[in-house]
Amino acid sequence: MARVCDLTGKRAMVGNKVSFSNKKSKRRFNPNLQVKKFFIPEMGEWITLKVSTSAIRTINKIGISSAIEKAIKKGKI
């Protein structure tokens, strides 16, 4: 499974791991993804999404329906 947020499209970034001696080697910064179930009252059913924690905060603030509409408008879904 890909490590990509279903709503925001966040994915892993690449950067350097820097040792004490200042040697650099590549590493990945993975997003903080959680698998959550959300109830959509308009459809009357539950959906399961793999979302980042920042997307969960957005859903708590504006609601799941408007968060999905916003993601569709931006072309993330």
What domains are defined for the chain? 13-74 (2.30.170.40)
Note the pTM of the prediction, 2 decimals.
0.81
- Give DSSP secondary structure letters for 21-47: T--EEEEEE---EEEEEEEETTTTEEE
Question: Which residue from 74, 67, 17, 10 is spatially nearest to 42, judged by alpha carbons?
Answer: 67
Other beta carbons less than 10 A from residue 22's beta carbon? 6
Percent of the chain with pLDDT over 90: 88
Residue 44: pLDDT above 90? yes
Predicted confidence (pLDDT) per residue in 8-24, tens digit:
999 999 999 999 999 99
Predicted confidence (pLDDT) per residue in 58-74, tens digit:
999 999 999 999 999 98
Cα 6 from Cα 42, distance rounded (Å): 20
Tokens of residue 26, six digits: 């590549």
Say what the pLDDT of residue 21 is: 97
Q: Alpha helices of the chain — where are they, by DSSP H?
A: 53-62, 64-74
Percent of the chain with pLDDT over 70: 99
